[in-house]
Amino acid sequence: MFEKLTVQELFPTPVWICDLKEEHHRPLNRQLLTAIRALIEPRPPIEVGSTWQTDPVLHRRKEFAPFTSLVERAARGALEFLGLGQPAFEITGCWGNINPKGGLNSSHTHPNNYLSGVYYVAVPEGAGQIVFTDPRPQAGVMIPPVARYNKFIGNKITLEAKEGRMLLFPGWLLHSVPVNRSDEERVSVSFNIMFSDYTEAMGGTLWKAGTAPTKV
């Protein structure tokens, strides 16, 4: 009966996955671990379910310069993929996360930033997940049983977190990190990206009197 059946995916949400080669991420991760631990030692005991975070200024410290350069390259690639050309941008925050046994990161977003990301430095066995939650409030109104879950069904997607992997995603995308049930620490570095001249070059209206807003 149907002459043609197609699917149009509307309003996709991108998550970029960047994996470093092993010969690159192993020395980088050793250096990052040393630098992060130097910033937070000595550490008093913390409550179960808590996590350690450094001040969000790692991008300003010279020992993190190689990592900062890596973040900038990845962010440039993401912005070009989105068709934004080469806008001026900057890292607005960069911090280390340490999840001891029982540590987690509850669902959250990163306000006032266009892109956010995380890089995995140390991932214990069985503790390598990050969960992204469907940001559409109405998507959970009806959740029927399904034969198999896929990107069109379900309200959460879990991606693998492994050493040497960097993820970039929109700053508004809800995400969380499950409990670390390992006896070893899970270590990552998070960061935010925002346009340097947003208010001057990008924050104005997109239309003029007598014309309709731009449509895609």
Alpha helices in 58-116 (DSSP H): 65-81
Residue 212 confidence class, pLDDT cut points 50, 70, 90 = low
Closest to 171 (Cα-Cα) out of 151, 155, 195: 195
For 129-180, write each residue's pLDDT tens digit: 999 999 888 888 888 888 888 888 888 899 999 999 999 999 999 999 999 9
Beta-carbon contacts of 93 under 8 Å, excluding residues fewer than 6 positions away, are 56, 57, 59, 113, 191, 192
Amino acid at 193: I
Q: What is the mean pLDDT of the chain?
A: 90
Closest to 171 (Cα-Cα) out of 118, 111, 131, 119: 111
How far is Cα 121 from Cα 118, in angstroms, rounded to an integer? 10
In order of their start, the domains of the chain are 16-128+163-197 (2.60.120.620)
Beta bridge partners of 188: 97, 120
* pLDDT at 214 > cutoff 60: no
Say what the pTM is: 0.90
DSSP H or E stretch at residue 32: helix 22-40
Q: Do the beta carbons of residue 150 and residue 193 sit within 8 Å?
A: no
Q: Do the beta carbons of residue 91 and residue 72 sit within 8 Å?
A: yes
Q: Given this model, what pLDDT does residue 71 score?
A: 98
In the chain the first and final C-alpha atoms are separated, in Å, by: 32
Instruction: Give the pair of three-digit tokens for residue 194.
Output: 């925002």
Give me the half-sphere count of Cα atoms (radius 13 Å) on the Cβ side of residue 109: 13
Q: Given this model, what pLDDT does residue 215 score?
A: 52
* pLDDT at 69 > cutoff 60: yes
